[in-house]
Amino acid sequence: MGASGSKLEKALGDQFPEGERYFGLENFGNTCYCNSVLQALYFCVPFREQLLEYYANNKNPGDAEENLLTCLADLFTQLEKALGDQFPEGERYFGLENFGNTCYCNSVLQLEKALGDQFPEGERYFGLENFGNTCYCNSVLQALYFCVPFREQLLEYYANNKNPGDAEENLLTCLADLFTQISSQKKKTGVIAPKRFVQRLKKQNELFRGYMHQDAHEFLNFLLNELVDILEKESHAAKSIPETSPPEKIANGPNNPQANGVKKAPLVTWVHKNFQGILTNETRCLRCETVTARDETFLDLSLDIEQNSSVTSCLKNFSSTETLNAEDKFFCDKCCSLQEAQKRMKIKKPPQVLVIHLKRFKYVEQLGRNKKLSYRVVFPLELKLSNTMEDADSEYSLFAVVVHIGTGPNHGHYVSLVKSHDHWLFFDDENVEMIDESAVQTFFGSAQEYSSNTDHGYILFYESIAANDSS
């Protein structure tokens, strides 16, 4: 669903006609003449109803050979039924993207004109085609593409492994191929179809098959861990893991001892070097004062959010002290019994790229389902981790935001905001526009529980200023 879909939904609100569907039609190069007539016929209600009745009486494919009538009846039936059951009553709009050359063309040309002589040397700004409902994927891919260290290492990987005989196709090779396609374009702006990547993603994980609304954070988490797994398998296959590797930790958890009790340092991939940080979970027994510390790694931080808060306050809450008592008492090894204790999580080693996931979707027991929290959460352009670090402040700069548009977790649309060479860009699938830096704050959320604003920052990407300066 494009941005226009969100505007239409807002404009109609409670007045959305019961059971009606408003669908755009895909443009295959130059089929606007066809689309415009089909829309007129669809809203000729008597014609539509009789065509749907015809389809209902002749829906068995064996009854008749394919012709224009059966195809038209099938199309109108798709429009009538498509995805309707996934939406709450009164929220029935779901747009189909335009993959032709009629809509995005103006967007990218305007971007090139807007930047003019300031267009960054060697940079490319390309929209990504939407294959039905892949905005969750496109928005994350744009954020990752403009994570420059990650992009450069991925392109280097592609250059060293571009012979198809070197490795079988996987998500890593497909992603590297896509980023190479974008970066090597002769044109500065345009649209690219990430078809190969999307096909591989759906083949790899059944969660992302079909056309249901997906979660951008789940996709990001799956993708980064999958890239790590592929790189580790390739390294094992090449027998190139050094025995004297630095004692880094792998993604998603602490080091695990080998069967013989000796810890073997795992491989540190370039994915780890960009996104991995280390958390320390400290527990202090209130009887003997013994402190137990356990390290674990992370590729992103998921933060609980509150109304009228900020990322800084959410990080403070993340590292706040929790008392373990009653049924939650801690087993102290020194006391050999359950004791009251205080528990605290700290960021021991901050990552080069800090990815923050704002937990906007919460299960509400009374409703029996997840609900979207439209809370206003301010995310600063410059972020300090002074409240969670023991050593000197770690400073970060915001360079990308994945935004969720919509009122609920099971429907909506994803777009991304990206900072590139001091310019802020808005990526909405095929469309790319330049925006003012001040526009970023419109995605903080709403101070009121019920608001027409449904555009909220969901995943934040911060890069270390120190690491950026050193590079």
Q: Where are the domains of the chain?
A: 7-99, 103-235+269-279+299-307+352-470
Query: Is a pLDDT exceeding 90 seen at residue 237?
Result: no
Instruction: Report, as an integer, the average pLDDT of 363-367.
Output: 84
3 state DSSP class of 302: strand
**Is 103 among the residues known to form the active site?**
no
Beta bridge partners of 403: 415, 457
Per residue in 436-455, pLDDT (tens digit) is 999 999 999 987 766 677 89
135, 137, 147, 174: the active-site residue: 135
Q: Is 135 a catalytic residue?
A: yes
pLDDT value for 30: 63
Higher pLDDT, 269 or 61: 269
Rounded mean pLDDT of the chain? 83
Work out the pLDDT band at 164, boundaries 50, 70, 90.
Answer: low
- Identify the burial level of 436 via C-beta atoms within 10 angstroms of its C-beta, where 0-12 means exposed, 13-18 middle and 19 or more buried: exposed
What's the pLDDT at 393?
A: 75
pLDDT at residue 226 in the model: 97
Average pLDDT over residues 314-335: 92
Q: Which of 31-40, 221-230, 411-420 has the lowest mean pLDDT?
A: 31-40
CATH fold of 103-235+269-279+299-307+352-470, please? Answer: Cathepsin B; Chain A (3.90.70)
pLDDT at position 90 = 32
CA proximity to 200, closest of 164, 165, 163, 169: 169
Percentage with pLDDT > 70 across the chain: 79
pLDDT score recorded for residue 23: 80
What is the model's pLDDT at position 28? Answer: 62
* Interatomic CA distance for residues 87 and 153, integer angstroms: 41
| Between residues 59 and 179, the one the model is more confident about | 179
- Which of 217, 411, 413, 456 does the annotation list as catalytic? 413
Gap between the Cα atoms of 375 and 370, Å rounded: 15
Residue 332: both structure tokens together: 């102290």
Can you give the pLDDT at residue 295?
Answer: 93
Which pLDDT does position 132 carry in this prediction? 81
Q: Any idea what DSSP says for residue 458?
A: E
pLDDT at 96: 33
In this prediction, residues 72-100 reach a mean pLDDT of 51
At a CB cut-off of 8 Å and minimum separation 6, what does 364 contact? 370, 371
